[in-house]
Each structure stands twice: as structure tokens, then as C-alpha cells.
Amino acid sequence: MLTTASDSTITVWGQNGQRLYTLFMPDLMYSAIASPSAKWVLTRSHGGKTAVWNENGKPLCVLPQGSINSAVFSRDGSRLLTTSATDKPTVWDSSGKFLLKLPYNKYRDFVTSAVFSPSQSLILTSSIYTEDNYLDVNRDGTVTIWDWNGKRIKAFRVPGLVNSANFSPDGQQIITVADHKAVTVWDHTGKQLYTLPIQGSVSSAVFSPDGNWIATDSNKVLWLTPEGALNWLKKNPGKVAPLSAEIREAYGVPVR
């Protein structure tokens, strides 16, 4: 876990809440994320600089790309993926060396999110269509899956202006947010599976590491996925008395 403070310090914490290290940043920061190993920290500062630091506060690289909207590490920390308001989504290595750009039309497509897959073999992006730098609210958003080399594998439409897209832990499902209200889960082919009955504004949604839960930034609510609900039922057969023996058998819930 990583926290930032108003005095431009960044603290990285272990899973048990122990402080691992604190960095003192030279600039006011917009955001910061830690690599999965917690050995590196990526920051976006007030001056538009995006940099990677080691645990001793030494800058490892500064990315030569301005107006970066988002940046994420790959699971092993070897690559970085950035989105920009003025450029295409870009992949870098951890030393800041340019590797590739995804072939978007930067004058027509506005990329709202970009993440690596858990297996590190794919890249997932969400985008919305623009016309003369204005959003076309009458067009659907697009979610695109790319291979590690930037080749497009699959794309599908998402109704509305898509805000974000994320993989499930096994990489077989994708969760999207559109119009700050519609949270939808799809399979990896773009088939819609279900939509959460969200009330209120929401801009992001993610799966828990075990895939049993979905967390959103709306109303601080956790949602059980269908797989999570079934796993709970299997582990707690004594708490589902209203289910008949036939339903239990059909869904694999142990019969008492």
C-alpha cells in the first residue's frame, strides 16, 4: 500500500501495515503508485514530470512524455504503460526506454484507461471517440485487447462514454464503467455477462485478487460476483436453508 501527504512525502507500507520506507519528493505530486514488489515508486508531479524512484529515493528514470493522464506497472515491474491527452498509449521498460505505442489515432480517439493483464501477455484499453477535440456523446465507447507487441486482438463496443476497463484476476473477464453509472462485466470475447445495480456516480471498478468481489468508488460498497456467491454457498451450506435439494444439486451446493 502507498500513501501520500501534503508535505510531498510518499510512504510505502507492507501487507501487515508495517512501514517499509518513506520518500521525500522535490515537487508537489498529483499521484503515485508502487510497483507490485514495492521496490519502485512511479510519481506524477505538478510540473508534468513522470518519474520512477527506488526505495532509497534515487530517480531511476524520467519519462520523456508530457501531459500523462495515467501510468501503471506490469505485474513483474519490468514495464510501464502510460496514457496521455496528447499522445498514444505508450509502453516503456522500467529504465524509461521507449518500447512501443499502441496504434490509436490521437486526434480521434481519447483513451480513458490502459492496464496490463495479470498474465502480462495482454494490454487492455478503453477509449471514446472525439471530433475536433470534442467528445461525441452519441457514440459508444470501445474496449480493445492488444497483445504484448501492440497488435490488436479484439475490440468491442460499450454503450455510453466508457470511463475505465479492468481485467479479472484470471484474465477471462473484463469490467467496465460507462457514463459514470453503468458497471458491466463481459467475458474476454466481449459478450455481456451482467450489470451491477449501481446507484450514484461511479468512475472505476475492480475485481478483488480472488475474483470473488467487485469494488467500486461509489458508496463504498463491495459486490459479490456470481462466482464469489457460489463459492460462499459451497463453504457455508448450513446458511442457505431456503434452497431445495434440487437447486443445491443443480448448482453444486452440498446437500446436508
Domain ranges of the chain: 1-101, 105-224
Confidence class for position 218, pLDDT limits 50, 70, 90: confident
- DSSP-derived letter for residue 231 is H
User: In this predicted model, which residue has the larger pLDDT, 80 or 47?
Assistant: 80
| Strand 50-54 relative to strand 59-62, pairing | antiparallel
pLDDT tens sequence across 1-44: 888 888 888 888 887 888 988 888 877 777 888 888 888 888 88
Q: What is the CATH superfamily name and number for domain 105-224?
A: YVTN repeat-like/Quinoprotein amine dehydrogenase (2.130.10.10)
Q: Which pLDDT does position 229 carry in this prediction?
A: 83
* Alpha carbon distance 129, 184 (integer Å): 20
How much is the pLDDT for 84? 82
What average pLDDT score do residues 179-208 get?
90
pLDDT of 251 reads 67
Q: What is the pLDDT of residue 168?
A: 95
Of the ranges 46-60, 132-146, 190-204, which one carries the lowest mean pLDDT score? Answer: 132-146
- Residue 107 has a pLDDT of 61
Instruction: Give CA–CA dist 1/230, Å, rounded.
Output: 30
Q: Per CATH, which fold does 1-101 belong to?
A: Lipocalin (2.40.128)
d(CA 225, CA 205): 12
Quick one: how far is CA 246 from the chain centroid? 39
Best-predicted range by mean pLDDT (33-47, 99-113, 126-140, 196-210)? 196-210
pLDDT of 138 over the 80 cut = no
Of 47-56, 135-144, 198-207, the least confident: 135-144
**Whole-angstrom distance, CA of residue 117 vs CA of residue 119:** 5
In tens, the pLDDT along 117-134 reads 999 899 999 998 776 555
Give every CB contact of residue 195 below 8 A, 6+ residues apart in sequence.
Answer: 182, 183, 184, 185
